[in-house]
């Protein structure tokens, strides 16, 4: 018994050495074998820890890891390598010696970062946190320095091994980290998707509704419903054009409903572990939705989306592990250390050092899903290549739910640190996203890509507002989140019909929409004027509140805000006017477009600019008070 901690540390060392060996390996077959050995070391560590701590779920985790990571996945990867004949990765983006030096630096950085926190761990293998973090960063290094898909997949799976090892050892078997399954599949070329599910010890009776998520649940359900109404005639036209087949239509509708379910689950759960699982499930369903056309461009966009958001959500998992580690010391391992209500009650008692590192990972992870610059590159491709209804729910729903997760983490961080570190990060990266997206707007030729950068711009503005904090800024951020979801989804509805009419998404080839179908043309024009902040639409009201609050609270940021919003206004308007009013020879569609959702959304956006109903205003006020902050 007394030698088991040393054996666990030996397994940790082996896992680290194998991660280091993987970044120096060019032969893909050898990479697969090293990954298999890493999985075997993880199995042994889980069994040893389960034996000492008497946690039977760790045996389940070890068995699943043995079957999946040591047997099934390596076999499937070998099959892929043989079929594609890609035994060597000769296109590494950085030469091997340089990669090794960077890897050594990452190992040193990981140990120095984790050392103060490891001392606080009550686990017998608490010192393994530095090793787990090093494995995660080395795997990420392998992903970004390899150009072929199979090594990127191996890097992602190795990163997941590091996360599982951290959760298993540092927290004596964190409840959410019992791996249920990983399913792999190859799509035209090499699109490999992993599905991760976890056992949650806390009960599902911990569903939770408060003023923040009740308004977001309502908004999500409403936009999901209207998008489903829009989808029926739109997807019929896509089927007529040969882009969709009956099996793909069934896949699309099934994944759309599952996507909506994951969003609502993430918003209503009281458990931050289940929130993470919901975001991961949303990632996997949208990968299938983006790739539903099965064109090379859509598969590439889905692959980029999976890799970037998969890495982001993996980093969010590491942050969740650290958050659990901090909470376990206060509420105990059996006291619901991942329940939001418990965490909110004891947030001032959480260790500030652990929470600082946890928020850094959570911010990067969920910020990737928000579309935060510089982690935004998945969003334009996913919008441009997926079906238009998917673009509408990505902008109108997924980005909001990721922001919701970030706000929950910000509240805990503010309470633990008693200083505005989280708000400062959100202001800085929100402003960066706003300015960068405004510049990219002026360079776009694809209409859906242009409006995807508009989504990045507006999410940056929302993040900046929440970063300022205070009742007014939080109120403005919630209002802007609402009207952006309504107006942007309406714009994508009209863009979808316009692209179907023209047979292209290139803006220079879309002309005279108001002559072909006045309702489509006026719907797009009104939606564009609304999203650009023209009065009396709700975007004008929310932007006015954000700008005036920034002039009072953060005057240094006001010039950047005015410049970016002005540039975005000019860039979008100069491209949309010819699309709506130019000369055209386009013919009407075979099926009448579903424009009722467009004008319902625009009407609600107009109402919110003129009058906010008392019950909705009360929601905003209560939610803004919950979010706190230093503003006035």
pLDDT single digits (tens) 279-323: 888 888 888 888 888 888 888 888 888 888 888 888 888 888 888
> What's the confidence (pLDDT) of residue 87?
64
Query: Has residue 503 got a pLDDT over 70?
Result: yes
Query: Has residue 163 got a pLDDT over 90?
Result: no
Q: Which helix (H) or strand (E) holds 426?
A: helix 421-441
Nearest Cα to Cα of residue 445 among 395, 380, 501, 489: 380
Residue 373 near residue 437 (C-beta atoms within 8 A): yes
Angle at 193 between CA 191 and CA 194, to 5 degrees: 155
Considering 41-55, 153-167, 489-503, 578-592, the range whose residues carry the highest mean pLDDT is: 489-503
Q: Which of 82-96, 152-166, 349-363 has the lowest mean pLDDT?
A: 82-96
pLDDT single digits (tens) 399-417: 999 999 999 999 999 888 8
pLDDT category, 186, cuts 50, 70, 90? very low
Average pLDDT over all residues of the chain: 82
> What's the confidence (pLDDT) of residue 126?
52
Residue 482 near residue 471 (C-beta atoms within 8 A): no
DSSP 283-303: HHHHHHHHTTT--HHHHHHHH
DSSP 45-97: HHHHHHHHHT-HHHHHHHHHHIIIIIIIHHHHHHHHHHHHT--B----SS-HH
DSSP 162-223: HHHHHHHHHTTS-TT--EEE----EETTTEE----EE---S-GGGB---HHHHHHHHHHHHH
Which pair of structure tokens corresponds to residue 387? 């079906």
pTM equals: 0.83
Q: Which residues, 6+ apart, have CB-to-CB distance to 548 below 8 Å?
A: none
Residue whose structure tokens are 């319902």: 600
> What's the confidence (pLDDT) of residue 47?
85
Q: Is 100 helix (H, G, I), strand (E, B) or coil?
A: helix
Backbone angles phi, psi at 230, to 5 degrees: -65, -35
> What's the confidence (pLDDT) of residue 409?
92
Residue 226 near residue 597 (C-beta atoms within 8 A): yes
């Amino acid at each position: 018994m007394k030698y088991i901690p040393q054996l666990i540390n030996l397994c940790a060392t082996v896992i680290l050495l194998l991660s280091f060996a993987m970044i120096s390996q060019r032969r893909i077959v050898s990479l697969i074998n090293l990954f298999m050995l890493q999985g075997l070391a993880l199995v042994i560590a889980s069994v040893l820890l389960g034996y000492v701590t008497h946690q039977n779920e760790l045996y389940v985790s070890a068995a699943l890891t043995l079957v999946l990571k040591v047997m099934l996945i390596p076999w499937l990867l070998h099959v892929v390598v043989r079929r594609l004949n890609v035994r060597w990765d000769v296109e590494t983006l950085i030469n091997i010696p340089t990669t090794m030096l960077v890897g050594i630096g990452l190992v040193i950085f990981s140990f120095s970062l984790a050392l103060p926190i490891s001392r606080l761990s009550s686990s017998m293998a608490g010192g393994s946190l530095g090793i787990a973090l090093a494995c995660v960063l080395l795997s990420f290094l392998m992903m970004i320095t390899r150009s072929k898909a199979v090594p990127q997949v191996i890097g992602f799976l190795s990163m997941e091994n590091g996360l599982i090892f951290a959760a298993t050892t540092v927290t004596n078997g964190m409840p959410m980290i019992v791996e249920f399954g990983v399913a792999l599949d190859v799509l035209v070329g090499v699109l490999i998707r992993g599905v991760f599910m976890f056992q949650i010890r806390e009960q599902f009776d911990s569903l939770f509704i408060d003023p923040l998520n009740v308004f977001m649940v309502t908004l999500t359900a409403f936009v999901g419903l209207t998008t489903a109404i829009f989808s029926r005639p739109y997807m019929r036209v896509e089927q007529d054009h040969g882009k969709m087949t009956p099996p793909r239509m069934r896949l699309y509708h099934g994944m759309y409903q599952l996507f909506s379910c994951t969003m609502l689950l993430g918003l209503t759960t009281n458990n931050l572990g289940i929130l993470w699982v919901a975001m991961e499930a949303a990632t996997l369903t949208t990968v299938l939705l983006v790739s539903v056309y099965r064109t090379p461009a859509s598969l590439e966009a889905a692959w980029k989306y999976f890799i970037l958001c998969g890495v982001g959500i993996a980093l969010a998992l590491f942050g969740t592990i650290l958050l659990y580690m901090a909470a376990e010391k206060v509420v105990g391992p059996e006291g619901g250390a991942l329940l939001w209500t418990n965490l909110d009650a004891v947030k001032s008692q959480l260790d500030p050092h652990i929470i600082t590192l946890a928020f850094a990972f959570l911010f990067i992870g969920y910020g990737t899903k928000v579309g935060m610059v510089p982690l935004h590159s998945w969003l334009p491709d996913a919008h441009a290549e997926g079906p238009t209804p998917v673009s509408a729910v990505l902008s109108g729903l997924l980005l909001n739910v990721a922001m919701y997760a970030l706000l929950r983490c910000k509240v805990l961080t503010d309470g633990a640190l008693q200083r505005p570190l989280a708000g400062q990060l959100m202001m800085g990266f929100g402003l960066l996203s706003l300015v960068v997206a405004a510049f990219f707007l002026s360079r776009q030729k694809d209409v859906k890509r242009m409006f995807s950068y508009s989504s990045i711009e507006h999410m940056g503005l929302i993040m900046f507002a929440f970063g300022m904090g205070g009742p007014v800024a939080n109120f403005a951020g919630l209002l802007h989140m609402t009207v952006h979801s309504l107006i942007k989804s309406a714009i994508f509805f009209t863009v979808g019909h316009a692209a179907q009419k023209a047979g292209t998404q290139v803006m220079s080839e879309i002309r005279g929409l108001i002559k072909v179908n006045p309702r489509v043309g006026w719907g797009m024009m009104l939606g564009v004027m609304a999203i650009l902040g023209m009065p009396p639409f709700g975007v004008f009201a929310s932007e006015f509140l954000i700008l005036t609050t920034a002039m009072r609270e953060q005057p240094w940021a006001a010039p950047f805000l005015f410049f970016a919003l002005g540039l975005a206004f000019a860039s979008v308007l100069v491209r949309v006017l010819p699309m709506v009013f130019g000369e055209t020879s386009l013919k009407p569609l075979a099926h009448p477009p579903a424009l009722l959702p467009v004008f319902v959304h625009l009407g609600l956006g107009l109402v919110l600019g003129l009058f906010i109903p008392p019950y909705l205003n009360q929601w905003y006020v209560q939610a803004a008070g919950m979010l706190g902050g230093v503003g006035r």
